[in-house]
Structure 1
Amino acid sequence: MPEPGPNPIDIGTPPPASSSDDDLFDHDDPEAPAKVKPRGRVRRVVISVLLLLALVAVAMLAFTSWRIIAQRHAKLEIQPSVGPLSLDYSQDGARTADYLRTALAAEVDLDHTYGAVYNESPDKNVLFLAGTGLIWTPGKDLDAAMNLISDDEGAVTNLKDVDAGPLDGTMRCGITKSADGDLTVCGWADHGSLALAMFNNRTPEDAAPLMLALRNATETR
């Protein structure tokens, strides 16, 4: 019989196969590297940003809706006098006021339009035109109304925002050229009304407070 060979060496049971490198680390070891999930973290950041943007959009929509509701029912009434200004009741004044009203109605979609001529002295007067209606974009509609003056006299330049007062909205003043010299043009617009005024022999700085006085005296909600 053949002599028995040497006893086989016991190498133990091999560890189970693993498809993840995480199994190479001892999870009980506090110094072992933590498992990182970058995709999940990016996803959470993106969702957070989208939620924030959605909240901002909702807040802006709510604010705009509130302004439209608060301003849309504006009413205008031409006053016989405003500060140093007195309404011109002459035939020429009435004819000019009617022309201004018709021109504004043709340029901007409004429910009611108004026109007036105010005098302060022989060399100072104010041509005033205004209207009411639902105005979705007051700033754009005010620019369109300014184009009405641009067609007749020349572009309104150096437009600057001025104090719109407690009635809010947008108010601007600028300068246009005329045959008799520079005219200051001021206008306001909100979600319920729009108006323009042309001032001769006044700077925009002088005209702005007078325009605000005209608005406060003429517009109510």
Structure 2
Amino acid sequence: MSYDRFQGQSEAAPHDEPIDVTPPVWAASPDAPDEEEGPRPPLSRRRKIVLGSVAVVGLAGLAAVGIWGGRIISQQDTTMSTPASVAGLQLNSSADAAATADDLKAAFAAGIDLKDSVGAVYTDPAAAERSVLFFGGTALLWSPAKDLDTLFGLVGDESGAVDGVHEVPAGDLGGVMKCGTTSVDGGGNMAVCGWADHGATGMALFPSRSADEAAGLMRQIRDAVQVRD
């Protein structure tokens, strides 16, 4: 409302009539009870549905956090070793094998921060060309799948891209396990498998083996080298 309009209304009002100061019917009476003291109106059906949905989502989120936290607690205390024999394979203790294991440890440890790490070459007594090169380590891993993908990327940097990476059953120890293949010098392919959970990760190279065969062997290797406290 403009000032001129307001002023015009004031001049038009008669000056000899009393001003009515009775509060309008909608004004709150001094004796009226506080609205908060009276009964509250029932929630509408739509509001009940919304509030119920929010509660369900909140409880589901808390449950998911609880499961995730429990999984971390159960997996974080892990030790890793390289036993003398694994799944019919024999630990190669030669100087060349030890040097290869050290190279593996250095290459993979550069891409992921580990508390302890191990490396080993396991020889197949039936066929030397099917020896397995293994690397593993322990650490508190918040995102196992992401860390495992990092390891696959490191293998790709060293020997060419790892193709056909896919998830496979991880076995009784849980976590995530994946396998793929990469090319080797002189032609042919080599299977690559790795696993990761919240307490440890491991990867192995399987020359002259298919990815399916390597996956089963990897689960056996993992059961032998990884121990949870």
Range class of TM-score, shorter chain:
0.7 to 0.9
d(CA) in 1 for partners of 2:107, 2:117: 10
AA at the equivalent of 2:212? E
1:126 correspondence with 2:132: yes
Structure 1 gaps of 5+ residues are 1-36
d(CA) in 1 for partners of 2:169, 2:47: 46
d(CA) in 1 for partners of 2:51, 2:61: 15
Structure 2 counterparts to residues 131-210 of structure 1, below 5 A = 131-180=137-186, 181-210=188-217
- Alignment match, 1:91: 95
CA contact (8 A) 2:118 2:136 kept: yes
Structure 2 counterparts to residues 12-91 of structure 1, below 5 A = 40-91=44-95
Residue 41 of structure 1: CA displacement? 2.2
Aligned to 2:113, the other structure's residue is in SS state coil
d(CA) in 2 for partners of 1:63, 1:52: 16
d(CA) in 1 for partners of 2:121, 2:164: 24
Aligned to 1:43, the other structure's residue is in SS state helix
CA contact (8 A) 1:104 1:113 kept: no
Q: What is the TM-score with the length of structure 1 in the denominator? A: 0.81
d(CA) in 2 for partners of 1:62, 1:157: 35
AA at the equivalent of 2:83? Q
| 1:140-164 deviations in Å (ceiling 9; x for gaps) | 0000011110101122121222221
Identical pairs, percent: 40
d(CA) in 2 for partners of 1:187, 1:68: 19
Aligned to 2:160, the other structure's residue is in SS state coil
Q: What is the TM-score with the length of structure 2 in the denominator? A: 0.78
CA contact (8 A) 1:71 1:190 kept: yes
| 1:66-92 deviations in Å (ceiling 9; x for gaps) | 000000001111111112211111111
d(CA) in 1 for partners of 2:129, 2:119: 20
2:225 alignment partner, one of 195, 218, 221: 218
- Alignment match, 1:27: none
